[in-house]
Amino acid sequence: MSEKQDDKLEERIRFVAKHYREGSLNTKRAWDRLAQDKGIQRPEPWRRYLMMAASFAVLLVSVATFYYWKTHTPEWVTIATPAGQLKEVYLPDSTLVSISSGSRIRYNARTFGKTRREVEMNGKAFYRVMRDEARPFSIRTKMAEVIVLGTSFQINQQDASIRVHVATGKVNFIAGEGLKKENIILTADMSASYSMETKEIKTLTEEDVNYLSWKTGLLQFKNAPLEKVIEDLSDYYQVGIRSRSMIRGEKLTATFNRLPLEEVLLIINQTLDVRLAVDKKQPIN
């Protein structure tokens, strides 16, 4: 560098030193203005990249958490029948369920039909299950489980007992708790029950022709003991019924098709010379 150039540089340095004030030079603003004028993209500091990466990771975790919650939280569909009414519904797999008065079923719409078809219930219902060997159908109650492939059957779940009657096909009836669980295979026209009192499954040998009367409206009695007649009438009409006269082993053979209870009691009383009446004080389970 020549002596003349050195003099000019020294003169410029003195000028800057004379007019410089601390804090008056904003390098970021100067760079931003230059970058804007020249179309230059300024490199981002590494901290900014780190913050962006952290924000992206938080976003990914949030999305993953939401997706897991969305796909694993049950989406219950509940179907209930008010007292005195009946209801028939088709499940997503075309299984037909007839639900008795005061009963309900529910299923998880997110998982039903994926690998299994699971239903929970309380009360009484009749199932006509669509056959699908790849996706077994099961009904759970608070004390038992019934597993089927394709069949028709009724489950009657009460507070302390459950009864299963198979109309067609075959079911696996499982009941009990923990290691004390037991099971039995039921085929067409077979019935079994489980009681919280006895804690065992019992096969029912007596034919119950009226187990579907709540659905069909038909009550049939063939040389039936009066005690059984009273039990079936109470269950069908959902009222307490008692005899005001002593029961002396009377038996009834008759068929009633959707008749009013008053007319049914009149026929029975005249036929057997008994005094059956509605007992308003007797609760119905």
Q: Which residue has the tokens 């507070």?
A: 159
Domain end call among 204, 238, 259:
204
What are residue 161's DSSP bridge partners?
Answer: 195
Domain with 225 in it: 213-279
Considering its fold, how many domains does the chain have in total? 3
Q: In 10 A of CB 3, how many CB atoms?
A: 6
Q: Residue 26 carries which DSSP code?
A: -
Closest CA to 279 of 235, 242, 224, 229: 242
12 in a domain, yes or no?
no
pLDDT of residue 245: 86
**Are 158 and 132 contained in the same domain?**
yes
**Are 112 and 44 contained in the same domain?**
no
**Are 183 and 89 contained in the same domain?**
yes
CA atoms within 13 A on the CB side of 127: 34
Rg (CA), the chain: 40
pLDDT of residue 27: 58
Domain end call among 143, 173, 204:
204
3-state secondary structure 3-24: HHHHHHHHHHHHHHHHHCCCCC
pLDDT of residue 60: 72
Q: In 10 A of CB 202, how many CB atoms?
A: 13
* Pair 124, 159: CB distance under 8 Å: no
pLDDT of residue 78: 96
CA pair distance 27, 25, nearest whole angstrom: 6
For residue 78, give the 3-state DSSP assignment. Answer: strand
- Residue 229: both structure tokens together: 């007649």
pLDDT of residue 176: 87
37 in a domain, yes or no?
yes
The H or E element that residue 63 is part of is helix 46-72
pLDDT of residue 281: 65
**Are 85 and 184 contained in the same domain?**
yes
**Are 143 and 87 contained in the same domain?**
yes
**Are 165 and 247 contained in the same domain?**
no
CA pair distance 122, 206, nearest whole angstrom: 25
CA pair distance 168, 150, nearest whole angstrom: 9
13 in a domain, yes or no?
no
* Pair 163, 184: CB distance under 8 Å: no
Give residue-wise pLDDT tens across range 123-169: 999 999 999 988 999 999 988 999 997 899 999 998 889 999 999 99
* Pair 226, 234: CB distance under 8 Å: no
- Residue 196: both structure tokens together: 């919280």
158 in a domain, yes or no?
yes
130 in a domain, yes or no?
yes
Domain end call among 72, 89, 112:
72
Burial environment of residue 193 by CB neighbours within 10 A (0 to 12, 13 to 18, 19 or more): buried
Low-confidence ranges of the chain (pLDDT < 50): none
60 in a domain, yes or no?
yes
CA angle 189, 228, 164 (to 5 degrees): 30
9 in a domain, yes or no?
no
